[in-house]
Amino acid sequence: MPVLGLVLGVASLFTGFGWGVGVALSVSGLVLSILSMRRGVRWAFAGVILGTVGVAFCVILPVAGWLAWTFLPPVTGD
């Protein structure tokens, strides 16, 4: 799941749906962490990983967007 999240996060730089991906991963991490109270350590670990990836998307996307805006040449359609 985190690998799929990373792929979607990179794709979001060009399509604009990355904020939803970050929020969805964060919420999934929170839900798994809550479920871990009954399910055990594996669920807690999965929740921490998903939550961390989700928060990282929300932090990295603006920086990556700025880097792309600053250093990539504009697309002219030619």
Confidence band of 42 (pLDDT split at 50, 70, 90): confident
Question: Cβ contacts of residue 23 below 8 Å, gap of 6+?
Answer: 54, 58
Q: Is the pLDDT of residue 67 over 50?
A: yes
Question: What is the model's pLDDT at position 64?
Answer: 74
| Distance in angstroms (rounded) separating the CA atoms of residues 39 and 78 | 56
Supply the pTM of this predicted model.
Answer: 0.47
Question: What is the model's pLDDT at position 60?
Answer: 76
Spatial contact of 48 and 26, defined as CB atoms under 8 Å apart: no
Q: Is the pLDDT of residue 1 over 50?
A: no
